Structure 1
C-alpha cells in the first residue's frame, strides 16, 4: 500500500469501529481513536461494571471476516492497537486529539424539564392538542448548529460516483458516458464541502428536534425564547410512565464544545448523526439544553407529536406577562380537563439577579 491508501485504509477501519460501537451505546458513553506513530489507541468511557462488555464485543467485532482481514492487514504493516477503558469524561483537549470521536448524550438527572415559549396562537393550539413541535435542524437560529467538517482521503472513483449520483438526483438523465465527457474533478476541499452540504440537507431533514432546558429561571432563556419574559415556561414531569401512544422523553443533554465535530467519510451511504445533533458550541452552555429527537420522512411538514397530558404538570407565567394573557391561560387550562396543571406566577428578584417563583407546590429546584 502507498502512503495515501494506507492512511485511507486505516481511517476507514477506525470509522467502522466508531460506527459499530456507537450503535451499541447502551453501555458506551464516549469512544475516541487517536493515531500516533503507528499506534492506534481506542479509548472508551463506560461504567466500570460494563467494561468487560467492550472487551467481549471487541473480540466479536474482529471475528467479522472483512473487518478481521483489515485488522490483520493493518497490523501486518506495523500498526499496533491499544485499548484504554476509562470512567472519567473526555476533556475538551483530549477530544481535539482524537482522529475520530463519538459520544452518547448524557441524561438529565432531575425529573422536570422546561420549555420556554412565547404565548401566541401556536402555543394555545399546542396546549389544546397536547402536542410538541419537532423542528428541522436546518431551521435552527444558530447557523453553526448541527454543522460539522468532513475529513477524508477520498478515492478518485468515490468523488466521481458522488457527482454522478448527484446528477441523477437532479433528474438530469445523463448517461455515464455523457457525464464522463463533461466531468472535471474538483479540488478535494470543494468535494468535502459539497459532501458536507449534501449530508446536512439529506441526513438531517429526516430528523426532528424539540428543545428543552434543565433550568427554569435563566434570564437569557426567558428573554430569547419567551418573548422577553412576557411568555411562559412549560414544566414537564419526565418520571411519569407513558404508553406508546405518546412521546417518551429521553432527557438527552447537549454536549458543549469549542469547535465543530470532524467526521470521516469512507464512501458508504451510512452517516451517523447522533453526536452532531447533540453538540453545540460552548457559547450556548448557559442554556443547559436537552434535546428530544424524532425521525420523520423527508418532506413531511407535519412535525407535531402528541405528549401525554399527565406529563405537563406546570406552566410558569413570565414576570412581564400581561394580565389578560394570564387570564386566558387560566381559563384555557380550566376548560382542558385532561390536564392537572399548576399555574405558577413568577417575579424578577433584582437583589439576587434572578427570576423566582411566587409559589412552588411542585418543588421545582
Structure 2
C-alpha cells in the first residue's frame, strides 16, 4: 500500500493523502482583493486530487503585502472578494482548504516579479509604501530602508494576524499556516542576520523566538480548536552566522509544546548572499532532522519533489509526514493522479472527469 496515499491528521484536520499544494503567490489581486484569476487558478488545483490546498501568502495588513498585486485578508472588502472565490471552489471540490497568513516586512512594497524583476518600490513612488521590520536595514543594499517596529507596532502586527485568522475562520478555512519563512517579517525577527535589536525581541535565541511564538499563541487562541494552525519556516538562511537547523529545532519544539498542528519546512529567502545548491529534494534533510527531534507534530517537506517514487520514499522512510508541491503542480496540475497511477493507489476525481480514467487503471478514481 502506498504511504503517500495513506491518511494523515494535521491536528483536527484529516487528509485523505499526504500530498499538499504549497502556497504560491499569484500577484493578481486588486488592492488585496482576490480576482477571477484566483477562481480559475484555485479551482483548477482543487481538482488535482491532492490532500490539501493552501492558498498563497495572504497579507494580514496592506503594508504586509509583498507586491502591490498580492492577496490580502485585512478588511471587509478583501474578505468579501475571497469569499466569492472560496465559495466557487468549494461548490465543485471537497478538497480541504488552508490559507497562509503572512506579513512581508522589509521585503514588501515591490513590483510584480515579471515587472522590473520584482524590485523594491520607494514609499513615495506609485504602488509603493513604507515598510517595517525588526531592523532599519533593507533587504538589498540601496533599497528603501524599513522602519524598525516599536512595541506598539509589534502589538499591531500581532493584532493584524489575529483579525485575519478570524476572517479566515469565517470564510471556512480548515487550516491556517503562519508564514515564518523566506525572509518575511517573522523570519526577520528570527534570524540574527536581520535582527539587531537590543530589546526583548533581539539578541538571544529566546528573544528572537518571541514574536513568532506570540503570533502563534494569539492566533491559536483566536480560532476554534476545529481549525488546524501551523507554521512554515525556513530551516536555514544558507549564510554563515544566520538562522540554521539547530535554531529551527528549538523553534519547532517550542511550537509543538504550544499545540502547533504541523510544521512546513522550507529554507532561504532572508539574505541575498545565500548559496543554495539546488537538487531533487534539497530541503528534505532539513525536514528529516527537525522531525527526528519532535514527539508527534507532523512535518511537511517541500522543494524540488517532482517524482512520485521520490515522494513515496520520503514518506515511507519517515523523513517527513507529507510532501508539498509548488512549481511542479503548476506544470502538471494532475500530478496526484499520475502519482496514484504510478504507485497503485486511488485518488478523488470529480464525476465530470471520470470518463478519462485509463482502461488499465480501473481503480484509479476510487
Look at both structures and tell me which one has the larger radius of gyration over its CA atoms: 1
Task: Give the number of the structure with larger relative contact order, counting CA–CA contacts within 8 Å between residues 6 or more apart.
Answer: 1
- What is the TM-score when the length of structure 1 is the normalising length? 0.23
- Normalising to structure 2: TM-score of the pair? 0.23
